Amino acid sequence: MLDAEFFRRWMSATADAVDREAGRLTELDSAIGDADHGSNLQRGFAAVAAALEKERPATPGAVLALAGRQLISTVGGASGPLYGTLLRRTGKALGDDSEVTPGKLAAALGAGVDAVAQLGGAKAGDKTMLDALIPAAGALGESLSFGAAREAADEGALATVPLQARKGRASYLGERSIGHQDPGATSSALLIGTLADTAEAGA
């Protein structure tokens, strides 16, 4: 079972990972975006970590809802409302339980991913964060293995390289967006990777 403390550790591990990888994310974003993905997410997740430290929400759902809200209000770019919606909807789907099973998290994450698709109007293969999140949520739902979700997210992010972007700033580049890994799929793989790390580290 996963409690609020687990979700706080996941978010704080994500803040650390984003901090560590900010340069790489911004580098990927400078190829096909506006070169702010790393710094935007860094600012957002630093605010998430600070808010969770201060407010200490009592349930898994409340942890993710607070994190999502912080991202929407502090990021400033499109990744704010997108990641904010992902976490908030996932949190909402978890409800008020004080502990959740991996199966329940998998279903909730699926609901969060659907909400992201709806907000951005994107689908699989558009070279967006969904290309990592959809396979990750699918793998988690099928196997209930966080390691399998991480693997699926990493593969999904890598598989964005040959795709042509059809959403967001990168879509203006047309064919010139081909050959670059999508920054949003990369940061999504990071988020799923820290989930697996947190699960593997145990209590």
Cα Rg of the chain (Å, integer): 15
Q: Which is nearer to another protein, 38 or 80 (CB)?
A: 80
Single-letter amino acid code for the residue at 156:
G
Choosing from 23, 76, 174, 179, the residue that interacts with another protein (CB under 8 A) is 76
Contact status: 168 vs another protein (CB under 8 A): yes
Work out how close the CB of 91 gets to another protein at its nearest, in angstroms, rounded to a whole number.
Answer: 12
Single-letter amino acid code for the residue at 88:
R
Choosing from 60, 61, 120, 184, the residue that interacts with another protein (CB under 8 A) is 120
One symbol per residue from 133 to 152: x for binding another protein (CB under 8 A), - otherwise; what is it? --------------------
Work out how close the CB of 133 gets to another protein at its nearest, in angstroms, rounded to a whole number.
Answer: 16
Choosing from 84, 110, 135, 138, the residue that interacts with another protein (CB under 8 A) is 84
Give every CB contact of residue 35 below 8 A, 6+ residues apart in sequence: 26, 29
Q: Which is nearer to another protein, 76 or 162 (CB)?
A: 76
Residues numbered 170 to 199 that lie near another protein (CB under 8 A) are none
Work out how close the CB of 118 gets to another protein at its nearest, in angstroms, rounded to a whole number.
Answer: 9
Cα–Cα distance for residue pair 4/10, rounded to 1 Å: 10
DSSP letters along 3-70, please?
Answer: EHHHHHHHHHHHHHHHHHHHHHHHHHHHHHS-S-HHHHHHHHHHHHHHHHHHH--SSHHHHHHHHHHH
Token pair in block for residue 119:
């907000």
CB 44 within 8 A of CB 80: yes
CB 156 within 8 A of CB 144: no
Q: Binding segment for another protein among 77-85, 100-108, 156-164, 186-194 (CB under 8 A)?
A: 77-85
One symbol per residue from 4 to 43: x for binding another protein (CB under 8 A), - otherwise; what is it? --------------------------------x---x---
Choosing from 18, 64, 82, 109, the residue that interacts with another protein (CB under 8 A) is 82
Give every CB contact of residue 202 below 8 A, 6+ residues apart in sequence: none
Residues near another protein (CB under 8 A): 36, 40, 69, 72-73, 75-82, 84-85, 88, 119-120, 168-169
